[in-house]
Amino acid sequence: YLSAGNVLYGPLTTFGTSLGISYRYDALDDLLSTLDGYRLSTVLWFGPKLLNSNASYTLVEAELLGAKTLASVREIDDRNLYSIVVVDRLSASAAFGTTISLPVQQTSSLGSKVRGFGTFEYLADMSIANQLDLRFNGPETFTKGIFPHFICFYDIGYGFGNAYNTEVAASDFLSSVGVRVSFSLLEYFDIGYQMSYLLSGTSRTQPTNVMVGELVGRITF
């Protein structure tokens, strides 16, 4: 992450080291096309000035995810014909420090928690958000784990405190609804297109649009 910075944020170029402590309790039965149970994860990151050229921060994050399969019809060989799953994800983060690095801002911002907004948008010290999904999973035509899905979602979030690396007060409320059509390849790859209608808040990258469309994807190793 390289940047010359500006008057507000100062120089942002950095090469640094962080230390993390995490806890995860997983009672989630994830068969890709069906999902049941819950999962709790927390993480505490330290990026002390002693180990960094231009960063000094502490980050606390927590996430609680719950899911329930509402309907599931399977083939004789246990491949999914169709399934309907509801998923709710509650996440919160708090970042403290004089120089919060860009990688931390990217994952902890309010904009990264509410779909339709950018990952570097609405950078308040503390944020909490909820994502609610209703997922319609299509048939695993060829083999288990490869299937299309259609998702309806509603997101809501609130950020407060100061803008990162400043003494400027921030208070933002965001919400959006939308749909996503995507295709999953086992647990490793997911790609699709998402349309979000912004109920509250403005996209900083598309300020004149209340409908925000974007290509979305995920690669997991």
Q: Are 92 and 127 in contact (CB under 8 A)?
A: yes
pLDDT greater at residue 174 or residue 58: 174
Whole-number pLDDT of residue 107: 83
Q: Which positions ≥6 away from 135 have C-beta within 8 Å?
A: 35, 83, 84, 85, 86, 87, 149, 150, 151
**Distance in angstroms (rounded) separating the CA atoms of residues 166 and 92:** 20
Bridge partners (DSSP) listed for residue 40: 25, 64
Q: Are 63 and 91 in contact (CB under 8 A)?
A: yes
pLDDT greater at residue 102 or residue 154: 154
Whole-number pLDDT of residue 51: 62
Q: Are 129 and 121 in contact (CB under 8 A)?
A: no
Whole-number pLDDT of residue 96: 85
**Distance in angstroms (rounded) separating the CA atoms of residues 217 and 190:** 5
Least confident of 3-17, 51-65, 98-112: 3-17
- Which among 34, 36, 220, 218 has a CA at the least distance from the CA of 137? 34
Q: Are 66 and 37 in contact (CB under 8 A)?
A: yes
Whole-number pLDDT of residue 218: 81
Residue 8 confidence (pLDDT) above 70: no
pLDDT greater at residue 97 or residue 112: 112
Residue 205 confidence (pLDDT) above 70: yes
User: Which is it for strands 169-185 and 56-74: parallel, antiparallel or unpaired?
Assistant: unpaired
pLDDT greater at residue 114 or residue 105: 114
